[in-house]
């Protein structure tokens, strides 16, 4: 899976609100809607919990105060992580509170909804 290198940048650009070519604009809108129907909602990212501290911040322009961030472990050490939660939301960021651990491979995919 390829994720954006900068989590504040969308993996797939949106469709402009206006376009000089109406036919091309309709095509772009149709392609975007079809991707949505196929489940390609451009709402994932990747985060690795910070080592030797109790919080990690996800910076992503798609996060807001009314957003739900769902974490899915992608490594064995992430799967063994217990007692983590999203403890704070702000415009463009969410804070995960977790155990203070020196391991550097507690990696998750996150899903943003809302």
DSSP character string of 48-59: EPPTTSSEEEEE
| Same domain flag for 80 and 66 | yes
Instruction: Domain of residue 77: give its range.
Output: 44-113
Do 44 and 38 meet the contact criterion of CB atoms below 8 Å apart?
no
| Same domain flag for 35 and 72 | no
Do 75 and 107 meet the contact criterion of CB atoms below 8 Å apart?
yes
Contacts of 19 (CB under 8 A, 6+ apart): 25, 28
Looking at the 3D structure of the chain, how many domains does it have?
2
pLDDT digits (tens, 9 = 90+) for 80-112: 999 999 999 999 999 999 999 999 999 999 999
Two tokens, residue 77: 């050490």
Residue 16 — very low, low, confident or very high, per pLDDT cuts 50/70/90? confident
pLDDT digits (tens, 9 = 90+) for 35-67: 888 888 889 999 999 999 999 999 999 999 999
| Same domain flag for 67 and 56 | yes
Element (H, E) at 106: none
pLDDT value for 8: 41
| Same domain flag for 32 and 56 | no
Please state the pTM of the whole predicted model: 0.77
pLDDT value for 13: 64
């Amino acid at each position: 899976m390829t994720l954006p290198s900068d989590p504040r940048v969308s993996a797939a650009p949106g469709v402009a609100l206006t376009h000089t070519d109406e036919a091309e604009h309709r095509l772009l809108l149709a392609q975007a809607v079809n991707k949505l129907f196929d489940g390609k909602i451009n709402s994932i990212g990747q985060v690795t919990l910070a080592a030797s501290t109790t919080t990690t911040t996800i910076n992503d322009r798609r996060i807001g105060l009314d957003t739900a961030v769902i974490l899915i472990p992608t490594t064995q050490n992430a799967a063994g992580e217990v007692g983590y939660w999203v403890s704070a939301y702000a415009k463009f960021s969410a804070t995960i509170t977790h155990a203070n651990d020196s391991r550097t491979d507690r990696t998750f995919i996150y899903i943003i909804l809302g």
